Amino acid sequence: MQWICLLQKVLLNVNLCSFANIKKNKIMPRQIKLIWDFRGPAAAKTAEHHEIHLKEYIAIEKIPENITGFEIMNDMHAIAFMVVTDEYMIGVRDALKPHRGEVYAN
C-alpha cells in the first residue's frame, strides 16, 4: 500500500512539473541570439559599430526585446549580437542576414 502512495506522489510531481514547464514556455517565449562574426585586425571596432546599427533597427522596427551587444573573442575575431523571440526571428533573419544563431540563455 505504501508503494502505491509513493508512486502516486511521484506521478503527481511529474505531472505538476510538466504543467509548470508548459506554463513557463507560454509565459517566456524562446529567445534566439542572432550573431554576426567579424574577423581581422579591425574586428572589435567593426563589431562595436555594428551593434549601433542593431539598436537602430530595433528602434525602427519596434522590436520588444532590446538585448544587443558585442564580444571580443580574440584579437582577430569579434561578434555583434541581438536577441529576438521566435516571433521576430524569421523577419530579422531575412532582413539582416546574421551569420549564425543560437538559443539565448541569460
Domain extent listing, the chain: 29-103
Coil/strand/helix, residue 90: helix
DSSP 14-32: HHHHHHHHHHHHHHS--EE
C-alpha 29/C-alpha 18 separation (Å) is: 16
pLDDT higher than 60, residue 21? no
Kindly state the average pLDDT of the residues 25-30.
Answer: 75
Query: Helix (H, G, I), strand (E, B), or coil: what is residue 64?
Result: coil
Whether residue 78 contacts residue 46, with contact meaning beta carbons closer than 8 Å, is answered with yes
How many C-beta atoms lie closer than 10 Å to residue 96's C-beta?
14
Q: What's the confidence (pLDDT) of residue 68? A: 98
Q: Which CATH class is domain 29-103?
A: alpha beta
Place of cell 562574426: 37
pTM recorded for the entire structure: 0.74
Q: In the predicted model, is pLDDT for residue 42 greater than 90?
A: yes
pLDDT > 70 fraction of the chain, expressed in percent and rounded:
75
